[in-house]
Structure 1
């Protein structure tokens, strides 16, 4: 069976909000994050004004989901 790897699909605007918004986005991505070849991450660049602590929080949580 062939698959098409995909990167992106994450709503990067959650980094302007709070941990609850990040968690809600992670819930949305969790099932597809389990698929082989999918890396859920922000498309392009992180928006100005994003909170770095939320970016780190997202990275830590997505590692728990993916690995």
Structure 2
């Protein structure tokens, strides 16, 4: 969606260390697409605030209603 709506390539994908994001299939996919996969440090809820702030900024920039 990012690539088709904004015509921008995805350079970095940041996620937690969940099994759905940290596996060989997804690692191979990121490698073939040239995407850097960053994971958050375990047991660091402080990083969640940064992610939420970025998500809020993206929602506001997309003119999504405030209730979301």
- For normalisation by structure 2, the TM-score amounts to 0.32
| Higher RCO (CA < 8 A, seq sep 6+) | 1
The structure with more helix, counted as a fraction of residues: 1
Normalising by structure 1, we get a TM-score of: 0.33
Which of the pair has more CA radius of gyration?
A: 2
